[in-house]
Structure 1
Amino acid sequence: MCGICCAVSFSVEHFSRDLKEDLLCNLKRRGPNSSKQLLRSSVNYQCLFSGHVLHLRGVLTAQPVEDERGNVFLWNGEVFSGIKVEAEENDTQIMFHYLCSCKNESDILSLFSKVQGPWSFVYYQASSHSLWFGRDFLGRRSLLWHFSDLGKSFWLSSVGTQACGVAHQWQEVPASGIFRIDLKSVSISQSVVLKLYPWKYNSGGDDIRECVNSLTEISAALPTFVFVSVNEAKLYLKEPVVPLNKALPQAAFETHCSSISRSPPTRETLRVFLTDGHTREVVQQFIGVLSVAVKRRVLCLPRDENLAPSEVLKTSNRKANVAVLFSGGIDSMVIAALADHHIPLDEPIDLLNVAFMTKENTVPVNFNKKGRKQKNHCEIPSEEFSKSAAAAAAAAASPRERFNVPDRVTGRAGLKELQAANPSRIWNFVEINVSLEELQRLRTTRISHLIQPLDTVLDDSIGCAVWFASRGAGWLVTQDGAQPYQSSAKVVLTGIGADEQLAGYSRHRVRFLAHGLEGLNKEIEMELGRISSRNLGRDDRVISDHGKEARFPFLDENVVSFLNSLPVWEKANLTLPRGIGEKLILRLAAVELGLTASALLPKRAMQFGSRIAKMEKNNEKASDKCGRLQIISLENLSVEN
């Protein structure tokens, strides 16, 4: 995972050879292991490339990478499949090698059509003065663009700036395909023309994905001197997932067992479905494809494989390489259970559980403030975790109910299930307790610009909750008590994508009741189509701010294709009550994996389970614009830090 940035100027006198300090700082937080900048100059333009690497696989490769012909590559991605990358190899080097051997546009499109895994990239092709860039089909990696006035310069970056008046000008690059800019022609025409190479499912049809029809919508959000058009040759990328199966049952759709809807759901209720041979086969196939997706995401990272046997046995001293955003709900429980199948047994797994309290605790607490030395103002001060720990300790001294939110209750129950399933594993249940004061302070100084350009109350709630959870600074709770803990895991697994594909939200049930299975199909299709702009860019920016990488098993291309291939009634049955009907196939998978009570937990949104929603205002709607996300000036930032 990396922080990547490319700044292009068509007016040399206005060009800065260095990134703005706050942007450079934000990029370094994403990629703490290596930083490098590279300048490319032409008669008509100049390009500044900046790369910041979080090292996770192969040999540490500083970015940007370049070759003798002047080509430059910035890569923020993971090749999990589609292109062969050996365990000791670095995918940045592999991708750049293939790119430099591409002879034409079709070769470049063919290459990116093969890659399975999350990515965003910038590629400067010197011979054609072309700048290629884009995000993967699902938009699992952030990429923003910013165009200056009068077209004198534009920026591409994983994350935006914090400067007041600038932050709102950053917009997410649509995950509609790959874009190309002819830099030489821009300098002559004084207008920026974005050529789009869209995603298309190769089914023999003439239509190029619906996103192409929204070119006017993309252009409407851009300055008047920026134009978007489909490439003249009508070339396209092949979609990596199959289209959604919208088939409807020939007979009237009824519940699998009519008595289920009239009785309280139990684990035996779910077992009734598994007595059907076809259903059980489908569930086993689902477990298989999801298990492979988890395996790819927990094994592609360095481990202490050269430790002596005596050191390996000291599992209590081992650090976790993988963490799970953990509520104890069905999504995170299945992810944790499958991760347990593939992560070495002597390696702990961190379960990150976040809770917010509504009133500030002012009980004074002495706490050891020893922490890492602050190298520069880009880092979070070491005393910041001290304040968090102090607030948590104060709450521990008072009734624990201060943080006894729904997700904390289900998280503890889920921990017991996992411990029962594999008592040999060290499960680090990390209680992350956030006070109102800390939320407000860090929203202002660190989180707001990460959530931007999204700006609703819902974005604020989820963005803040995910930021605190993925930071991993909290209390490790064991039978012997609680002690301060900082998760060292660089990989954070999250269950996003399950609700969108398996009718997990209440709006799915509303749509089904109003329009039946046809309406439900349309809702699921819409959910997956907008996940790049609604969720994934934001979550990538928020999690990566801690020098950690978000990985999304439910959004693995093979998982999405498998679920898309199924008729909707094999994934969900909304004639059944909550706790069974939504995400039915996932609940059945949980039973097959040996999980118990968690298989029956109804869907509960993170903002409500963690109790961050309504924490500051009770009369807000999720879709309202959130005034708390306003970016403050850099002068105020220096005071806060």
Structure 2
Amino acid sequence: MCGICCVLSVSSPQSVLEHHVCENLRKRGPCCSQEITKTVADLGYRCLFSAHVLHLRGFLTPQPVEDGNGNVLLWNGEVFGGLTIGNEENDTQILCQHLSDAGHPEDILSVLSRVQGPWAFIYYQAARHCLWFGRDFFGRRSLLCRCDVEEKSVVLTSVAASLSGPGGQGWQEVPAGGIYRIDLSAFTDPGLLTLEVYPWIYPDSALLQANHEFKWEGLSSCASLKMNDAGLFLAAPVCPLNTAISEILPDTEHAFGPQPCAEDLDVFLNCGEKQKVVRRLIDVLSEAVRRRVQALPCLTPETSPLATEKADIAILFSGGIDSVVLAALADRHVSFGKPIDLLNVAFELQEPQKRKESSKKSKGCKLKPKETSAAPNGPGDSSSFSVPDRMTGKASLKELQALNPHRRWNFVEINVTREELQEMRQKNIRHLVHPLETVLDDSIGCAVWFAARGVGMVTEETEQKAYTSTAKVVLTGIGADEQLAGYSRHRVRFKTAGLDGLVQELAMELGRISSRNMGRDDRVIGDHGKEARFPFLDEDVVSFLNSLPVWEKADLSLPRGLGEKLLLRLAARDLGLGPSATLPKRAMQFGSRIAKLENSQEKASDKCHRLHTA
């Protein structure tokens, strides 16, 4: 993973790159930092390329990478398939070689269409004087853009900042609907800057390129967007969603109670055809996890004894179905002697004001302060952090320990007080969430930031000890709800519009995941010098799930805790999991109780003033 940045300017690009942007980029890539400047006087443009590398695969390759022809690549990504890369090779070098051989636009598109994995890139073609940039199909890596007419500059960066002055305004996430090309020979007048777009399209789609609509909402007035004249596009890396609706649906004679149990899932697994689909999901998801937990940096003899005692892999762990399945599959592929960190975040429960006042009156004296007030990430009063995700996390931990009692599972209890939340939001988190700005972005951004930091407590036998996760790779379960109808709004849509409405909702969910979730989560997790990886959004996993009819993935006529994400629950049961397989969906902001710390009258879609407070 990297923090990448390019400043295109007619003057000194250094003056445009603010100090706060540089600091945020360095946090993402603590292993190596480097800059290259390209100046083309006769065309009147200058490009500053800055990269900060987090070393995770193969041998350390400093960026930016420049080839013998003066082309420059900034690559924030992982190649998990599509291009052949040896165990000791670095994907940045391999990709740079492919792009160096790709002189024409169609050749560049062919290379990028083949890459399986998350990425954001910036590529300078010296001979053609053009700048390419964009994100993968799901937008799993962040890339922001800001155009400034007065400064006559365009800035592309992994992460920016939210500030009250003009330097903090105008940032937008680059839409993940395609990749973009800037003709630098026309940059002498930024007011006439044109971005040429090459969209993602399903290769067998009947949609004509000429009629394809592409929007970049709120694009600055200093630039315009147009479809490329040649009608070229990138081939989508997944198959289209199966929208078939059957009038005759599978039925079961078993009567399910309002509170499902793990044994209820066995009714479905007794069906041979259903079991085949479940096993196929396990196979494809297991391979996606394997790709993301193996092929980490080669250990030297000097570091290997110490390294075996520390975790390389962590999981954002609520104890819910998504995170438990990822943990069970990671157990298959992480080396036998290595621990796995389970990161479980809880925000301090606040005593209601009315209860405090009532207590004061009944006692007739002032309320004494807690003798065991909880310090940030300290043991303190454990009841202050007994939030739903903490309880389900501990219960699911026991199931994982039963599956593999020889594995060291580090259940990291990350306890966050209101004071620390407010401090770190203002100091760090609001800059990472920017340019997103809703109450939901604030809640999830804060929860994920503290969880990924991995600073908390672990229990060894009966004693709690301070612990900081050393894992540089963080697995998250995002993408499961969007594909398997895990949200409560999916039940509402099913009740009002049936399977047809549900299919439309799922298509919308996956289509907007890049703008709603991915960039934010990448920026927040990357701030700790760690890389977010998303097995449920692996191209093979998405293609498999997209190929299934909706009733194979979920049955929302069944009770909550059973019908939503039914296929994944069956996979969990087949893996040997018990009660965790039927836990109902609980959103992170509610399970961690961060939502209880703020204004309960707020709506998730409201603009969050806390993200803008200077």
What secondary structure does 2:396 align onto? helix
**Which stretches in structure 2 are left out of the alignment for 5+ residues?**
352-367
Pair 1:2-2:2 in alignment: yes
Counting only pairs closer than 5 Å after superposition, residues 209-248 of structure 1 correspond to structure 2 as 212-215=212-215, 218=216, 220-248=217-245
Tell which deviates more after alignment, 57-66 or 145-154.
145-154
Contact kept? 2:162, 2:435, Cα under 8 Å: no
Distance 1:146 1:554 in 2: 31
Equivalent position of 2:427 in the other structure = 445
Deviations 1:327-353 (A, max 9, x none): 100000000000000000100000000
Pair 1:469-2:451 in alignment: yes
Choose which of 270, 280, 284 in structure 1 pairs with 2:279: 284
Deviations 1:532-556 (A, max 9, x none): 0000000000000000000000000
Contact kept? 1:167, 1:449, Cα under 8 Å: no
Deviations 1:159-180 (A, max 9, x none): 0134323334110000011100
Equivalent position of 2:365 in the other structure = none
Kindly state the Cα deviation for residue 222 of structure 1 after the two structures are TM-superposed. Answer: 1.6
Kindly state the Cα deviation for residue 568 of structure 1 after the two structures are TM-superposed. Answer: 0.2
Deviations 1:437-485 (A, max 9, x none): 0000000000001111111111100000000000000001222311110
Counting only pairs closer than 5 Å after superposition, residues 103-252 of structure 1 correspond to structure 2 as 103-150=103-150, 152-165=152-165, 166-187=167-188, 190-203=191-204, 205-208=206-209, 212-215=212-215, 218=216, 220-251=217-248
TM-score where L is the length of structure 2: 0.93
Distance 2:189 2:415 in 1: 56
Distance 1:346 1:189, change over 3 A: closer
Contact kept? 1:254, 1:575, Cα under 8 Å: no
Pair 1:340-2:331 in alignment: yes
Distance 1:153 1:110 in 2: 30
Equivalent position of 1:384 in the other structure = none
What secondary structure does 1:187 align onto? coil
Pair 1:530-2:512 in alignment: yes
Counting only pairs closer than 5 Å after superposition, residues 51-66 of structure 1 correspond to structure 2 as 51-66=51-66
Distance 1:297 1:563 in 2: 19
Choose which of 403, 409, 412 in structure 1 pairs with 2:394: 412
Pair 1:272-2:267 in alignment: yes
Counting only pairs closer than 5 Å after superposition, residues 16-35 of structure 1 correspond to structure 2 as 16=14, 19-35=17-33
What secondary structure does 2:597 align onto? coil
2:25 counterpart letter in structure 1: L
Distance 1:4 1:477 in 2: 38
Contact kept? 1:151, 1:225, Cα under 8 Å: no
Choose which of 291, 299, 323 in structure 2 pairs with 1:296: 291
Equivalent position of 1:41 in the other structure = 39
RMSD: 2.1
Kindly state the Cα deviation for residue 67 of structure 1 after the two structures are TM-superposed. Answer: 1.9
What secondary structure does 2:297 align onto? coil
Distance 1:402 1:169 in 2: 40
Distance 1:364 1:198, change over 3 A: same
Distance 1:498 1:184, change over 3 A: same
User: What is the identity percentage for the equivalent residue pairs of Structure 1 and Structure 2?
Assistant: 56
Deviations 1:350-398 (A, max 9, x none): 0000000144997699xxxxxxxxxxxxxxxxxxxxxx994343xx343
Distance 1:362 1:28, change over 3 A: farther
1:425 counterpart letter in structure 2: R
What secondary structure does 1:440 align onto? helix
Distance 1:244 1:234 in 2: 24
Pair 1:578-2:560 in alignment: yes
Distance 2:369 2:521 in 1: 31
What secondary structure does 2:427 align onto? helix
Equivalent position of 1:357 in the other structure = 348
Contact kept? 1:357, 1:434, Cα under 8 Å: yes
Distance 2:443 2:386 in 1: 18
Distance 1:335 1:297 in 2: 11
1:441 counterpart letter in structure 2: E
Pair 1:431-2:431 in alignment: no
Equivalent position of 1:323 in the other structure = 314
Deviations 1:44-72 (A, max 9, x none): 10000000000001111111111232111
Equivalent position of 1:80 in the other structure = 80
What secondary structure does 2:239 align onto? coil
Distance 1:445 1:193 in 2: 36
1:329 counterpart letter in structure 2: G
Distance 1:114 1:615 in 2: 45
Distance 2:243 2:76 in 1: 34
Pair 1:500-2:482 in alignment: yes
State how many pairs are aligned: 595
Deviations 1:249-280 (A, max 9, x none): 132x46434512x4542222100001111100
Pair 1:99-2:99 in alignment: yes
Distance 1:429 1:186 in 2: 53
Distance 1:113 1:196, change over 3 A: same
Distance 2:395 2:200 in 1: 43
Kindly state the Cα deviation for residue 187 of structure 1 after the two structures are TM-superposed. Answer: 1.5
Distance 1:401 1:390, change over 3 A: closer
Distance 1:436 1:46, change over 3 A: same
Distance 2:74 2:86 in 1: 20
2:245 counterpart letter in structure 1: L
Distance 1:69 1:424, change over 3 A: same
**Which stretches in structure 1 are left out of the alignment for 5+ residues?**
366-387, 633-641
Kindly state the Cα deviation for residue 600 of structure 1 after the two structures are TM-superposed. Answer: 0.6
Deviations 1:589-623 (A, max 9, x none): 00000001100100000000000013121111111
Equivalent position of 1:594 in the other structure = 576
2:554 counterpart letter in structure 1: A
Distance 2:169 2:392 in 1: 38
Deviations 1:424-444 (A, max 9, x none): 000000000000000000000
2:549 counterpart letter in structure 1: P
Distance 1:274 1:348, change over 3 A: same
What secondary structure does 2:376 align onto? helix
1:42 counterpart letter in structure 2: V
Distance 2:120 2:499 in 1: 35
1:567 counterpart letter in structure 2: P
Distance 1:15 1:298, change over 3 A: closer
Distance 2:402 2:451 in 1: 24
Contact kept? 1:579, 1:603, Cα under 8 Å: yes
Distance 1:486 1:436 in 2: 20
Distance 1:7 1:145, change over 3 A: same
Distance 1:307 1:423 in 2: 29
Kindly state the Cα deviation for residue 223 of structure 1 after the two structures are TM-superposed. Answer: 2.1
1:293 counterpart letter in structure 2: A
Distance 1:208 1:580, change over 3 A: farther
Distance 2:171 2:473 in 1: 27
Distance 2:401 2:542 in 1: 30
